[in-house]
Amino acid sequence: GMPSERIVDMSLADLRAALDSGTITSAELVGAYLERIAAVDQPAGGVRAVLAVNSKAMEQARAWDARRARQGASQPGAALAGIPLLAKDNFDAVGLPNTGGSLALAQSMPASNAFVIQKLLDQGAILLGKTNMSELAASYGWYGYSGVGGQTLNPFNPLRTADGSSSGSAAAVAARLAPFALGTDTTGSIRSPASVTGTVGMRSTMGLVSRAGVIPMSLTADAAGAITRTVEDQAIVLDAIQGEDKNDASTKGMARPPKPLADGLRGSTLAGKVIAVVDNFDGANPEVDDIKRSAVASMEKAGARVVRIRVPKVFETLQPAVLGPIRVAEVQRRV
């Protein structure tokens, strides 16, 4: 079989092709990731991104392989069929506690799957387990720490934060513990962990992805989404998880992309595009500033026209000034 080191480096498109051609099996794929979780995440000094492992993941992978064998190799699977994922521990998943990182919910066993989890399982995806998070997605000034899972470390430097609150999901994808992971974003909880782990995180448009079955912080601002390794992988996952859900009013009547998001990447170019770059926050970290300059230079080289802007100073603290009170009010109302 293919070496595990090679398997865990493959993109979602490459995994799809390998599974459909019979080059690898879902059991081999799931096994490679379970081995890596055991070796990289769980020992003392490990990343501690994975809070709980699904004991039935290998059984589900073998069942998928058996169905695939019966159907015949000529029938390609859905985009994520046979492919494993991890989910932030605020998504309901049958057979696993949904703790939100809080000891108060350590024995909370959901009776049904979150809409997004069920949607992926229906497509043949395999849930590897749940990821650690900033407790109750609130962080309380301590990113990546929960009473249930302890401290998630940044896999590139244990002295650096993995941010939050989708800390475990981002660290897991960066450490090659899963090809993608689900997360949630209220005031940056997907985008911030992705930004410090070299992964791709996107806050999806409100109503694109259902939040039903996810422990809420603020339904005014909560968004469910994914953390991936590449932009193409992000598009593939968003195509798979979006959809209208009668249990989430925000998804009703939502105008959806007319064609798969992944298709829109083919032949795309930055030439002629106008990209605004906000300069208000430069100067806080020279390494970050260097990365920003390099990214801007790359966009300009690719043909984009970059417009430098400085937003009014009030926008620099808009998140705590506006979203903070909304979040606090809505969390208190649900306690």
Residues marked as catalytic: 88, 165, 189
Tell me how far apart the alpha carbons of residues 313 and 333 are, in angstroms, rounded to a whole number.
32
Q: If DSSP codes are grouped into helix, strand and coil, which group holds residue 181?
A: strand
Q: What b/e string do you get for 103-130 counting C-beta neighbours within 10 Å, with b at 16 or more?
A: eebeeeebeebbbbbbbbbebbbbbbbb
Residues ≥6 apart with Cβ < 8 Å to 287: none
**Radius of gyration for the alpha carbons in the chain, expressed in angstroms and rounded:** 20
Closest CA to 51 of 162, 151, 131: 131
Residue 69: CB atoms within 10 A of its CB come to 11
Tell me how far apart the alpha carbons of residues 14 and 6 are, in angstroms, rounded to a whole number.
11
